[in-house]
């Protein structure tokens, strides 16, 4: 996994790196699957994957501690508010922290971790509010006939992808830019 990440870091090098600093009285939590790929810009698309490393609108969230979370974001598809020094956002809104924690709950395979047992009721409350939409993750796939040969044979393409987390993430400091036009490019390099 680490080798793959190192070999492919160029695919996300154009994403804006932002450090989210939690200034509320509730911590960031993390799951057993803490790095979350999310795409609100293309959230309504369900017939193909929108979480690839080059997909327009990609956001990657990675909680680092109870007070810090790393965000990598396609800045061409979102308006980012309240940013300091081009790379820091201080979060004072508890709704934002709750939303990011719910994202971790949805991303979890089995466990959500937090640093203080006194937070159990808070985490339990968040889990209960999301319980009806939690699901086990399974990749989706589609099969397409892509090439026919003179002898009547054909090649098929099987495309697998992870569906989006069934949670509509709302953050007060990020708003997506509406999609313009008929088509949706599948690679950020189309508008680099």
What gap in Å lies between CA 28 and CA 63, rounded to an integer?
Answer: 7
Are the C-beta atoms of residues 133 and 20 closer than 8 Å to each other? no
Q: Is residue 89 part of a domain?
A: yes
Domains of the chain: total: 1
Q: Which two tokens stand for residue 15?
A: 């994403």
Q: Produce one character per residue of 90-111: b if its CB has 16 or more CB atoms within 10 Å, e if not.
A: ebeeeebbbbbbbbbbbbbeee
pLDDT tens digits along 58-105: 999 999 999 999 999 999 999 999 888 889 999 999 999 999 999 999
Inside any domain, residue 6: no
Q: Is residue 81 part of a domain?
A: yes
Residue range(s) defining the domain that contains residue 75: 11-143+170-191
pTM for this predicted structure: 0.81
Is residue 30 in a domain?
A: yes
Residue 177 in any domain: the answer is yes
Residue at 5 is within a domain: no
* Residue 36 lies inside a defined structural domain of this protein: yes
Per-residue pLDDT tens over the stretch 36-52: 999 998 877 777 778 88
C-alpha span between 54 and 50 (Å, rounded) = 9
Beta strands 16-22 and 88-91, pairing class: parallel
Phi, psi (5° rounding) for residue 92? Answer: -110, -10
- Domain-located, residue 4: no
β-pair partners for 31: 112
């Amino acid at each position: 996994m680490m080798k793959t990440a190192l070999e492919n870091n160029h695919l996300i090098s154009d994403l804006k790196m932002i450090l989210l600093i939690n200034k509320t009285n509730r911590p960031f939590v993390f799951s057993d699957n803490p790095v979350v790929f999310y795409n609100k810009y293309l959230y309504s698309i369900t017939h193909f994957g929108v979480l690839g490393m080059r997909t327009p609108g990609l956001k990657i969230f990675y909680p680092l501690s109870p007070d810090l979370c790393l965000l990598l974001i396609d800045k061409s598809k979102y308006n980012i508010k309240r940013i300091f020094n081009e790379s820091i956002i201080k979060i004072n809104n508890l709704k934002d922290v709750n939303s990011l924690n719910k994202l971790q709950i949805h991303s979890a395979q089995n466990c959500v971790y937090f640093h203080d047992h006194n937070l159990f009721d808070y985490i339990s409350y968040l889990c209960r509010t999301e319980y009806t939409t939690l699901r086990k993750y399974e990749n989706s796939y589609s099969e397409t006939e892509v090439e026919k040969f003179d002898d009547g044979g054909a090649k098929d393409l099987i495309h697998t992808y992870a569906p989006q987390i069934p949670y509509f993430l709302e953050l007060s400091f990020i708003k997506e830019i509406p999609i313009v036009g008929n088509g949706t490019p599948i690679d950020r390099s189309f508008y680099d």
